[in-house]
Structure 1
Amino acid sequence: MIQITNKADCCGCTACASVCAHHAISMEPDAMGFLYPKVDTDKCTECGLCEKVCAFNPNYDRSLNLPEPQIYAARHKDMHEIETSRSGAAFIAISDYVLEQGGVVYGAGYTEHFRVVHKRATSKEERNEFKGSKYVQSDLKDIFPQVKADLKQGLTVLFSGTPCQTAGLASYIGKRLREKLILVDIVCHGVPAPYIWRDYLVYLEKKYKQPIVEVNFRDKSRIGWNGHIESFIFQDGSKKEFNTYTYLFYRHIMLRPSCSKCHYTNFNRPSDFTLADYWGWEKLSPDFNKDNKGCSLLFVNTEKGLEIFEKRKEELNYLATTQELCIQPNLQHPSKFDTQWIDFEKRYEKQGFIAVAKRYGNLGWRYKYNKLKNKTKRILKK
């Protein structure tokens, strides 16, 4: 049976729970809201399938991969799609192909109070909820079996997620049903804690004494694509911008422990396509994204991916690029955690969100003091 003695060894993909025919494994949250498998030993038959299906290791399946990915800078030709997407809307071009074939698309959306979950879409309107970055680990409850059921019915299925999620799904589905499964992963920075996001929303709603009705983790409407501004629309229609959650995210202090040893931070991806922001697009072409609306980095990793790209490339403006011109940290190594990340989790468990946001974030006097100190140092150097 699967036993997690070190949290860094589990990415929470749910493959082990999904493969268990005896329903002996449930996914239970820890103090940060990260889900881990828990085995009911009374139901477990010790068949070993849960251990066999786990793909969070250096030996994840790459048997369908091209010798090297074909890599592109890409932007959708429809400006509305770019403006309403996080980057260049390459995901829209790919997922439109699946929906137009009568297939289904799975991606990260929202349920009650903006809790991030994976959802199933059969129309472009439903799929549009998957646009935009969501800097929280999504809940995959019951999604893997749903994907398998769709494939058994002969449907074409696109699943988008982090590379650990796509690797887990591919292992769970198996090669027999893989033909009609299209996997899309992202160049992942690491997944933040669900409970931190939950408590942050509660904090904002209490502060402004009204519910939040819309969230945007990276709003590019005001300063463009390369900025990182959180925006929230409240019940009275007011829109407010913050960076408290973003500040904690970039400190690498609230990420899932497994992100510190991610096995997928390379060019040998576990999916048919890989998507990311294309940072450094200027090296390829100074005019390609000159309006600063957004530019996708697109890897085509498999023969299946090549076939789909050939059918959809007319929807895109694209330029071929190289690994050297698109390299970024999370294609080289896992995110390096803040040295205080363990202390952060312990303090959060004991004292709650506001306490850690003040001590490690930008809400308290420490942040203001350090900001003033750094500003003084810069002035004195001049």
Structure 2
Amino acid sequence: MLTFTDKSQCCGCTACASICPKQAITMQPDGLGFLYPIINKNKCIECGLCEDVCTFNSHYEKSDFSVPEVYAVRHKNISEIETSRSGAVFIALSDWILEKGGIVYGVGYTDHFRAIHKRATTKQQRDEFKGSKYVQSDLNTVFIQIKNDLKQGLYVLFSGTPCQTSGLRSYLKKIKVDVDKLFIVDLVCHGVPAPYIWRDYLTYIERKKHKKVTSVDFRDKSKCGWAAHKESFTFSDKTVVCSTYSDLFCKGIMFRHSCGNCYFANLNRPSDVTIADFWGWEKVDTEFNADDKGVSLLLINSAKGKFWFDQIKAQVYFLSTDVEHCLQPNLQYPSVIHSLRNQFEEDYIKKGFIYVGKKYGNLGFHLFQLLHKIIR
């Protein structure tokens, strides 16, 4: 039976719940909305599969290349760049899968901008996966759906945080599914913020504006450029407001506990390719992103990833570089969890969102006073 002594030992990947033959494990939210496995002991047969499949440890399966191939990449279609977070390499990679009649899994929204993994069979459906989502996604039954797709002989792309991709690889290996047509993309992840804080943040700004949010852009480069970290919210009256939700994100005060204990914050990736913003691109070529529209970092981690990139090279501009030019903090070590993170959660559970917003210093100023100024 799966056990862990503290929350930092679970990343919430759902591999244990997916593999359980008796459906004895369900993913249940904690006080901040992070999902953790809960075992129904009346259903559990103590087969040990949930323990065996868990890959949130230093023994996770790593991809072929000990040192990845490194590229700066921009899509040749400028409209794809303008509507994507960085250089739109994900669009080129996923187009190849879709054009082969395959399936693309990525993060979209359900309900009122609740982040979940979704299944796309068309480019229009896939386009919902564009852009950053600064909140942990709900994987639900996606691993089981991918198993079924692969068994039908379909090409499948799965994109997610490295802990999610590692969980998927372990799950499929344990149940002995042919993964020849599976292509995996992970992200250089800074950490996953709390779903309930995102939910309450939306509620707060809607009450201040007295209107519903109709669209969200976590990193709106159309307003402030690619390098900026500002969100925009479009309301039902078509007005657009920029805010500072990313200040909470960067503080690490609402991250999942496991983010401070991440085993994947290095160059040994659990995926075929890794994508991210390419910070420091100007050290490679001063003209490559001169328009500040965005450029993707692409790490090729496996022979399959190399093959995949070869298939899409005609759709992108790219420059080959090396590891020294691409190292970001989260390719070297995990994010530091804020020292008041536990107190933040305790205060949130007891006293609510507005209380924690006002209590935690600059957090209160940015979240409340600045928002008040720009939308009143």
What is the TM-score when the length of structure 2 is the normalising length?
Answer: 0.95
5+ residue gaps, structure 2, are 370-376
Identical residues among aligned pairs (%): 57
Equivalent-residue separation in structure 2 for 1:361 and 1:274 (angstroms)? 35
What SS does structure 2 have at the residue aligned with 1:120?
strand
Over 3 Å counting, the alpha-carbon distance change for 1:10 and 1:364 in structure 2 is closer
What SS does structure 2 have at the residue aligned with 1:308?
helix
CA contact (8 A) 2:150 2:177 kept: no
CA contact (8 A) 1:75 1:89 kept: yes
* 1:329-340 pair list within 5 angstroms: 329-340=329-340
Equivalent residue for 1:236? 237
Equivalent-residue separation in structure 1 for 2:361 and 2:234 (angstroms)? 22
Equivalent residue for 2:121? 122
- The one-letter code matched in structure 2 to 1:201 is L
Equivalent-residue separation in structure 1 for 2:366 and 2:138 (angstroms)? 34
* 1:216-235 pair list within 5 angstroms: 216-235=217-236
The C-alpha deviation readout for 1:141-164, integer Å capped at 9, x for no partner, is: 011100100000000000000000
Equivalent-residue separation in structure 2 for 1:132 and 1:362 (angstroms)? 27
What SS does structure 2 have at the residue aligned with 1:279?
coil
CA contact (8 A) 2:184 2:273 kept: yes
What SS does structure 1 have at the residue aligned with 2:269?
coil
Equivalent residue for 1:147? 146
Over 3 Å counting, the alpha-carbon distance change for 1:368 and 1:55 in structure 2 is closer
1:55 equivalent in alignment to 2:55: yes
* 1:347-366 pair list within 5 angstroms: 347-360=347-360, 362=362, 364=364
CA contact (8 A) 1:248 1:361 kept: no
Equivalent residue for 2:3? 3
CA contact (8 A) 2:186 2:273 kept: yes
Deviation of residue 279 (structure 1)?
Answer: 0.4
Equivalent-residue separation in structure 2 for 1:108 and 1:176 (angstroms)? 23
The C-alpha deviation readout for 1:38-87, integer Å capped at 9, x for no partner, is: 0001100100000000111111112x412321110000000000000000
Equivalent-residue separation in structure 2 for 1:365 and 1:20 (angstroms)? 46
Deviation of residue 367 (structure 1)?
Answer: 8.9
What SS does structure 2 have at the residue aligned with 1:82?
helix
Equivalent residue for 1:318? 318
* 1:168-207 pair list within 5 angstroms: 168-174=167-173, 176-207=177-208
Count of aligned residue pairs for this structure pair? 367
Deviation of residue 354 (structure 1)?
Answer: 1.0
Equivalent residue for 1:379? none
Equivalent residue for 1:288? 288
What SS does structure 2 have at the residue aligned with 1:75?
strand
- The one-letter code matched in structure 2 to 1:213 is T
Over 3 Å counting, the alpha-carbon distance change for 1:233 and 1:40 in structure 2 is same
What SS does structure 2 have at the residue aligned with 1:105?
strand
Please give the root-mean-square deviation of Cα atoms over the aligned residues, in Å.
Answer: 1.4
Equivalent-residue separation in structure 1 for 2:36 and 2:205 (angstroms)? 29
Over 3 Å counting, the alpha-carbon distance change for 1:23 and 1:281 in structure 2 is same
Deviation of residue 345 (structure 1)?
Answer: 0.7
Equivalent-residue separation in structure 2 for 1:85 and 1:203 (angstroms)? 27
Deviation of residue 180 (structure 1)?
Answer: 1.0
Over 3 Å counting, the alpha-carbon distance change for 1:354 and 1:368 in structure 2 is closer
* 1:75-154 pair list within 5 angstroms: 75-154=74-153
What SS does structure 2 have at the residue aligned with 1:172?
helix
Deviation of residue 246 (structure 1)?
Answer: 1.1
What SS does structure 2 have at the residue aligned with 1:232?
strand
CA contact (8 A) 1:163 1:188 kept: yes
Equivalent residue for 1:376? none
Equivalent residue for 1:158? 157
CA contact (8 A) 2:134 2:193 kept: yes
* 1:230-269 pair list within 5 angstroms: 230-243=231-244, 245-269=245-269
* 1:262-281 pair list within 5 angstroms: 262-281=262-281
Out of 50-59 and 354-363, give the one that drifted further: 354-363
Deviation of residue 5 (structure 1)?
Answer: 2.1
- The one-letter code matched in structure 2 to 1:104 is I
What SS does structure 2 have at the residue aligned with 1:185?
strand
5+ residue gaps, structure 1, are 370-382
Deviation of residue 368 (structure 1)?
Answer: 10
Equivalent residue for 1:31? 31
Over 3 Å counting, the alpha-carbon distance change for 1:202 and 1:43 in structure 2 is same
